[in-house]
Structure 1
Amino acid sequence: MHPTETPAWRDPLGLMLASTGEGVFGVDLDGLCVFINPAGARMIGWQPEQVLGQNMHVLTHHAHADGTHYPLDDCPIYNAFRRGEPCRIDSEVFWRADGSHFAVEYSSYPVFDQGQVRGAVVTFVDITERKQAEEALHQAKNELEARVAERTQELATALQQVRELAAWSEAVREEERTRIAREVHDELGSLLVALKMDVGWLDKRLSEQEQREMEAAQAMRDTMRGKCQNMGRLIENAVVNVGRIITDLRPSILDHQGLWGALEWQAQEFVQSAEQQLQWCMAVDEQRQLPEAMAMAVFRIFQEMLSNVGRHAQARTVDVDIFERGEWLHLVVEDDGIGALPQAFESPQAYGILGMRERARHFGGTVDIDSQPGRGTRMHLSMPLPQVSA
């Protein structure tokens, strides 16, 4: 030994055990403590000399955190030397001399001597602060999830309210359109017809007087007749426009011919004005009557589909396929036009598409659109049919 070497270095193992902050103890085959370092004794509230020879399970590991008995046969520390099974546990507690306990993480490893298990070495550390931090984190996570769920529910409720408001607003608008259409038809339409009759009568009387008037008044009569005839043409145009406005406000053909006839009429009117070819196919039970609000929604969606074809597609042919499958109504409009990228139909500014989808969603339906540049566009309305009462 070097002359300056201190006695402490003669026991490096003891020095290591004394200096470490972790608790370390050893037990023999009976579970009795054969050594414990100061940190370990301090954590369980004993002096090292008080622990030596004590049964460590009885002393510090005898119960679970809730106070229920911890059977010796279930103890992982003892299994280390009984079965030669090392373990690492962080879900249990050690008990102190004053009856309190602390969350502990411990490891138990068997000690072998010439191939025989002689006992076990246990290292342990107080993880109370870590457990408290984990619990606080878990609680914060639960609170955050609860707040997210609450906000999600609020948003879902708000969205449902917005949709109900939109549906109510649409119903109010349809009622107002119906009222205005009837007033236009009953008041303005009747006035225009009466005015045209009066103009026609005036033109006829002027013509009859041609034979009785003097030659000098011929030019004035011709001018007046020309004015009457021009007024008649203007009134005819006004009558046509009034009819168009009435149809836009409230398609009376729905009342006269029902939804199925109205859809075919609208398709024929569209291709005639757009100078396109129509491929028409409808396979539905034409005796089935949809509720008025649903029929109006289907008709308006169909109008918007055709309007999109007219504004953007530059198509030559429009295929319309209307059929029932199971308890669903399907309405498909497909064109051979220029098409568009799918993103164009998902834009927040695509108000026509949004309107179609909201109308369909109100009745549990969907509007799907398939389009690619150069390949045309296919718009597909699917809507559940109402149950027919027995």
Structure 2
Amino acid sequence: MTPLDTRPQRSALINFLLIAAGAGIMTAALVGLLLNGLYQQKTAIFDSARHSTELRARMMGDHAARTLEAVDLMLFSLASELGKSSASPQPEQARQKLHERLLFLPQAVTLTLYDANGELIADAKRLDAKENASDQTFFHRHRHDGALFYLEGPLPRRFDSSGRDSIRLSRLIDKGNGQFLGVLLAEIDPGFFRAFYREEDPLGQDHIALLDIQNRILASEQPDLMPSGADYSKLPLLKGMEFPKQSMSGLQRLENDELLTVFYQVNDFPLRLAVLLDKPSLLFQWEQTAQKTVFVVLGLILTYLCSLVLIGLLLQRRQAAETALRVSEAHLRAIHDTTDIGIVRTDSKRRILAVNPAFAKMLGASAEELVGRDIIDFTHPEDAIASKAKFQDLQDGRLHRYSMEKRYRRQDTGATVWTRVSVVSVQQDGHPILTFAMVEDITDARRSKDTIEALLRRSQLLLSAVGEGILGLDASGRVAFVNPAAEKLLGYRAQDMIGKKSHKLVHHHHADGSPHEEATCPMHVVLADGKPQLVGNDVFWRKDRTMMPVEYVATPMIAGSGIEGAVIAFRDISRRLEADNEIKRSNSELEQFAYAVSHDLQEPLRMVASYVQLLGRRYQGKLDKDADDFIGFAVDGAKRMQQMITDLLEYSRIQRKGNPMTLVDLNQPLQSALMNLDLLIGENKAQVAVDTPLPSVNADAAQMARLFQNLIGNALKYRDKLRSPEIHVAAKREDMFWIVSVSDNGIGIDPQYFDRIFQIFQRLHGREAYPGTGIGLAVCRRIVERHGGKIWLESEPGKGSIFFFSLPVA
């Protein structure tokens, strides 16, 4: 039997082995390609996500810085304005000013002004807001620590019961010489940042949060996962994470997950922006591809054809990944081209490789005109040496990044552009190959700073040129500063006063020559209690030992460590006192004359009236009709003249015969007036409403009753015939005065007659329609002025009137 030929079998085996080896080699090669592709894809996805997230974190961090800088600049400007004002801000004026500034700050909820004691002066949105902030952290930091500005939050919104939070940014107000005047506070809505973050991350995958230096959350994209005020480092989501003290990015392994973390330090503020992407979200598509690749590899072992199909599928998947990468790069390019921050890329020789539109616009040139040239060519000559030195430090490895303020020259106009530049070096094998620079235009901010400095210098010149005398005292009451006006008024040279006790120098005796104790001297008291002292009439003593009448204000200079001194501003009131005395003498003579004339006219006028009435009775009907009319006219004229003289006497007695001022409850004279008018009120079916209780003031009770009776009586007299009279009496406090109002729904008064109606014997209507002499409102004004107040009205014909009068607070 012939042996079996094994060559075909060996050939088949060899072919099988060759095919198997070829298939194995091809499979191995394909598997290697696939694994390499997966690795490259994973690396590309992660690098792209990190790069994109870093840029977005920087952009959102810069957004936060610009948002807070805008608020701080507004506070700084307003604080400087208030600090230069010689008078304390009035609440209504301050509220109006705050409201106007708030219109330019969409990120702010409100602006609030506090005085040096923490009392609320004005709030931009609330007219009647009251609060004392002396126990608040921000006020303590400004008042006692001397902080220029302070950022805190999140804290519940003031005057808001909704439970929403706000970020507080506050600014110190001082006089320019260290004197603490108060605090300006801005409340910023965290929702402003949240809306921006959601606009940048509409799918909500980035977990964006704005943190303070204690890792507390000020604002976040997802408040349900990252609530405001929570400790960011203690969130369950971040258990086991490391928290750097500066900007960084990278993967961090936690207990149950890996996160791509980016922390960006916000410029000029103690804040950081945190962006988190969990690894499964980043690699979800990649892991799906990897699973399919395993099945592809298994399929390759069974059949070569399947391997070809799977290879095509992998190539398709890879193309999809590259497309996604291109889309991501396009997104970054869009940010590069649309941001307001200038971006410049240079090589190791300082040659410009690329710029974005913002930088080209900043320099007034096209990108083509800039690319290829040395960046120093566009730098201001005064900043060129410093810029070269910083760039060389990057090339030598002494620095990896730096920030500085520098100037550029515009190519179209030659104008100077102030910028804040942040430069980072890109290295390869430990050697710098590229630099990226972020350039922010701060020209407007620099101009504002220069303007403020110029204003400060001007203030120093004004202090020397002002007409009032000014003395600066140290904490012991010794003179430390004397302006030229003070030298001229007191007769001393500045060097003769410096270092000497102000009290012993100019305030040692009273006007009557009796010694003035230093303990009661306002200039000494202000140094002891820190409260401003306003003195309206006192005396200072000149070098020649003559007495000078003065008014002055002593204002403490308060710093964090306590009272460091005081400023005494005074003026000579000699001429004013002489003028006041002359006016008082003239007024007294006029009052005596009016009283004497009106009193002496009473008797002859009474005689004329009596005889004219006697003629009327005796010759009534005996003469012709004209004679009867003439006699009637004479009788009526005599009666009206008697009433006018009686009213004139009453008018002159307001000042001469008034009762002493005592503490009077205004409800009592008001009730007296209503009792006197009770019959008239009932006849006219009038409704009189009173906001009780009315305040108590230092006043003449009888004259107060006369004042109310005249005003309410006028409301009844000048009523609208088509409706029942409605009269309302109310009072409210404004600063150091009570404002009392009496309103009605009568016929009203045309505004052109507002001044005329307060003049004596002035009438707007005929005697047939409304009887009277026209002295009632003149008496009202006389009474109010005797009590140190003013009287005025608001009215419109046909809609009634409101009469207001002010009385000093008791």
Report the TM-score, using the length of structure 1 for normalisation. Answer: 0.39
More helix, by proportion: 1
Please tell me whether Structure 1 or Structure 2 has the larger radius of gyration of its CA atoms: 1
Q: Which has the higher contact order (CA 8 A, sep 6+)?
A: 1
